[in-house]
Structure 1
Amino acid sequence: MRSGDVIRIARDRAGLTQQQLASRSGRPRETIARWESGRQAPSLEAVSALVAECGLDLVLRLTENDTTLTDRVREQLGLSPPKRLARLLPRETVREARRSLRWLADARTPTIVLGQVGAALLGAPQRPDIAQVEFVAEDPLAMDRELRAAGLAAVDVEDRWREVDVREPWTLQGGGTLALARNVPGTGDYRDLKRSASHVDFDARTRVLVAHPRDLLRIADASTRESEHARAPGLQALLEVSYA
């Protein structure tokens, strides 16, 4: 992962603009912009200092060089989004994910897909543990009303009643599960994630907005869920291959 991505992830987790980080660190905003864009590479000491100004610690770990994940990312990126899912999930599960994505594509309330299915759509190599399509909404209250009006069934699980990192699952008639995410750690939810999100065309009828891999990695790092932490290596590989 590029040093610029580390700085950007830390800055976004802290909710700082480049100018605010510049004021805290005493470094020119233009320098921070060059580092984040990859036009110039900062020293390790500079990265660590900027991360500290964001209230975080930079933790390094040396491991054996293993290209397995990057090789799998390249294979996934050679496929269309539906084929990426088909390679990772059973056929019926892919059909359920398609129903969920299509519902979001047709929804009136703007949304951004995240989670394991979102990562897989972008080319992440790891098999999703669950096929529910997680998303944030521009207006969570409007989305809640829209889900109810459409006849989706609310699923009563512990994640629905958290104060932070909330997931509110809803099931579709005919199969498929959506999960409205709120108070996602390390983010400002929809408005924050929209800045770097991109459209993914799943099929001719289904276009959804998906969070940037860097933001998905930010979520994984900030989350208290082990299932999210386990996704970090695949997201790092995706960043290295396709967003270098």
Structure 2
Amino acid sequence: MTIPILYEDGEALVIDKPAGLPIERPRAGGRSLEDHLEDLKLGFQRPPMPVHRLDTDTSGCLLLARNPKALKRFNKAFEDRQVEKVYLGVLAGTVADDEGEIALSLSKISSKDAGWRMIAAKKGKPSLTHWRKLDEKDGTTLIEFRPETGRTHQIRIHALAGLGASLLGDPIYGTGKGAPHTMLHASGLIVHREGKTPIEASAPLPADFARLGFAIPDAAGV
């Protein structure tokens, strides 16, 4: 597998992570992004390091730092909300409104039978996502999500609890049916840097979205 590179400079790479590729090696073994980091050195002495996380099923823009100092700066940029992220997701349902925002407090729960998941809970951590409807096809809806916070599974639980429908193919917050995996794609990323031009990348829409009849409108970029 060749990992597409969307952006490259002396301190950063943005790759187009394929759906189904975990960032860290699974406990049960198998392939992961770690298998590709040596190839992504691209002449540098150190392999690049992931700055943030994407779920295994989620495709698209993933920022890698090419040295420890850059990793520290990029981590701070995420903490200080100096990062703009755009996701595209397919809802297993329709929504009446054209746009809005979802503000929920999220908490993690777990059980022996179902494993762990996030829920909306008053005592959880605050989360905020802006969204707008882009298209509808056969009872499904293409939504653009712009999260301001970066909670675990934020968009997946916001789709269910905020919009009333899970993402298509989501096995945790939905039925897992209708798609080969959770239909969520990190389509755009901007990381602002003091004294330097921002890191800016866009990832093309994956074939799984196109097979559902969806395309990225011109206005859906970062």
Asked if Structure 1 and Structure 2 have the same fold, meaning a TM-score greater than 0.5 normalized by the shorter chain, the answer is no
TM-score computed with the length of structure 2 as normaliser: 0.28
Structure number with the higher strand fraction is 2
TM-score by length of 1: 0.26
